[in-house]
Amino acid sequence: MSLTDERATEPPADGRSESNDDNGSRPDDPATGDERERRLEELRAENERLREDYARGKRLQHRQTAIALLGVGLVGIAAGITFPSARTVLLALGSTGVFGSILTYFLSPDTVMPATVGRSAYDAVRETGSTIRDELGLADVAVYVPVDSVATETRAPVRLFVPQSPEYDLPSDDDLRSAFVVPEDGRRRGVAFTPTAGRMLAEFERTRSAQADLRLDTRVAQLCDALVEQFELLRAADAELDEEMQRITVGVTGVSYPNTTGFDHPVASFLGGGLACGLETPVTVEVERVDDGESDVLITCRW
For the chain, give the secondary structure using H, E and C. Answer: CCEEEECCCCCCCCCCCCCCCCCCCCCCCHHHHHHHHHHHHHHHHHHHHHHHHHHHHHHHHHHHHHHHHHHHHHHHHHHHHHCHHHHHHHHHHHHHHHHHHHHHHHCCCCCCCCHHHHHHHHHHHHHHHHHHHHHCCCCCCCEEEECHHHCECCECCEEEEEECCCCCCCCCHHHHCCCEECCCCHHHCEEEECCCCHHHHHHHHHHCCCCHHHCHHHHHHHHHHHHHHHCCCCCEEEEEEECCCCEEEEEEECCCCCCCCCCCCHHHHHHHHHHHHHHCCCEEEEEEECCCCCCCEEEEEEC
Least confident of 57-61, 89-93, 134-138, 242-246: 57-61
pLDDT at 290 over 90: no
Given a cut of 90, is residue 203 above it in pLDDT?
A: no
pTM strictly above 0.85: no
Check residues 27 and 147 and name the one with the higher pLDDT: 147
pLDDT score recorded for residue 201: 92
Q: Which of 59-63, 111-115, 213-217 has the lowest mean pLDDT?
A: 111-115
